[in-house]
Amino acid sequence: MTRPLCILAAAAVLLHAAAALHAQDTAVQESRRAALQKEIAQLEQQIEENAAKSSNALNELTLVRRQVAARRSLVQESEREVARLRDTISVRQAEAGRLQRRLETMEAYFHRLVRNAYKNRDTHLWYSYLLSSKDLGQASRRYAYLRDLSGQMNSQARRLKELRTALDEELVRLSALRKEAEDIRAAREKELQDLRSVEQRSDRLVASLQKDKAKYQQQLETKRRQVEALNREIERIIAQAIEEARKKEEAANAARKSGDKETKTADVRLAGEFAANKGKLPWPADGPVVEGFGQHHHPVYTTLVMPANNGVNISLSSEAEILAVYDGEVKRVIVMPGYGRCVLVEHGTYFTFYCKLRDVAVKSGDKVKTGQLLGHVDTIDGQTQLHFEVWKEKTPEDPETWLRKK
């Protein structure tokens, strides 16, 4: 009898462990879904703002395509969640079946005990059994046996009741899991409909934009000149900052007494601290990336190559705040064609650049802290976007490798 109880206890532990794992997986899935739904809502708001303010079809296409990608990810997330629930239901059904079979075995055994006890229910037989003992020791052992048998039956009855309750609860949980799976399947169908609708919107925009190739070729050339001008200015400012840092280092070295251990300058320390936070930096603004780092083709005319992007473009709602991603010093506040106001922050040998600001809350020479307000985003050429770059000395790096995962 001990072995069935141990097996049942182990099964109960496994079921509780499975429940805990399911809860953990559900929390992760919910977090992913919430992030995707937030991004979709942000993009929808920005699409509406674009339509109301500028009717910039190319910008709308960029936002719509990003929303298509987000909705496709949401559908895939739902499909993974349904598959996970299907696996969980299968495991729990198997465990519940084993629990049911063990319970039936125990009930049969208990019923035999009850029948045997019923047959010998005459107290005269119990007394005779005790009185027929050869000596007091045997009588004591027989009494202990009868007492244990009675206690065992009572204990077994309690355990059977507990197991029935556990099985009932497990069946309720299974029912809830099936309902959850059905709800997610229904949500997935709605998400698929929304995805198809947005894809059709994207196709209509592409068809409309394909009529104006000459116009977009001209815009592309203008954009190329603006990017080159920005890159030249950034490189000039960085070269100037590096030269200033070199002179500062030389002065610090000259001031050291002979034989003293070399000490790191504040710039070197700050650069080391910045580098140690790669992949952990906060985002400068809350919005989806609509153009990543590197070389890209035109969204409509795929044979046209866009100017290389030395940063990322983050689509934002009007008046969105732009925040410093790390402690540093404002080196320059400049205005550039196509990029509006730009703030350049030095972090030792690293630099961050925040462009397309409507207003600026800092000035050159200011010390800034992580999360400090630098300004608010502007709408330029119908696009409400932050252009953000990260440089290590004279080399641009992909900002998304520096920012924490959303």
Tens of pLDDT, residue by residue over 171-228, are: 788 888 888 888 888 888 888 888 888 888 888 877 777 776 677 677 778 888 898 8
Contact 315, 288 (CB under 8 A): yes
Distance (Å, whole) CA 187 – CA 192: 9
pLDDT tens-digit map of 337-388? 999 999 999 999 999 999 999 999 999 999 999 999 999 999 988 889 999 9
Burial class of residue 26 (count of CB atoms within 10 Å of its CB; 0-12, 13-18, 19+)? middle
Domain with CATH 2.70.70.10 in the chain: 218-401
Fold of 218-401: Glucose Permease (Domain IIA) (2.70.70)
Contact 305, 297 (CB under 8 A): yes
pTM assigned to the model: 0.61
Distance (Å, whole) CA 16 – CA 194: 38
Q: Which of 277, 289, 288, 269 is nearest to 324 (CA)?
A: 277
Distance (Å, whole) CA 313 – CA 107: 68
**Confidence band, pLDDT 50/70/90 cuts, at residue 17:** low
Structure tokens at 232: 């030249």
Distance (Å, whole) CA 348 – CA 244: 11
Structure tokens at 343: 């703030």
